[in-house]
Amino acid sequence: MVLVAWWINKSNDILLVYYGFDMEAMNTIERFKNVPIENIEKVKEIDRYRMGIGWPLKAFFGFVITSPYLLIVYLIGYIYTKYNKLKGLENIKA
């Protein structure tokens, strides 16, 4: 999860550099100076996405959301297995 959250952020930075976006410029005009006209909308969209919460917080929320899900699925599988073993033992005794 951490690697995925980090890679999403890093790949956006790589794309912005590829399109000619200057991340260290002081204003919007300087940032978009080297971006070709046909790519400006895509670069604006990527830049807008970058301005959200950082990748560590995204990774943390991913763990908070997926950990209970994994625990619930594991417990349901464990109970199902125990129930089938118990049911199998009853069929053998009968």
What mean pLDDT comes out for the span 8-21? 91
Q: Tell me the pLDDT band of 92, cut-offs 50, 70 and 90.
A: low
Q: Tokens 């990748």 sit at which residue?
A: 55
Quote the CA–CA distance of 18 and 36 in Å, as a whole number.
Answer: 11
Task: Tell me what pLDDT residue 84 has.
Answer: 86
pLDDT over 90 (residue 58)? no
Average confidence (pLDDT) over 77-90:
83
* Burial state string for 51-80 with b = 16 or more CB within 10 A and e = fewer than 16: eeeebeebbeeeeeeeeeeeeeeeeeeeee
Domain ranges in the chain are 2-93
**pTM of the complete model:** 0.59
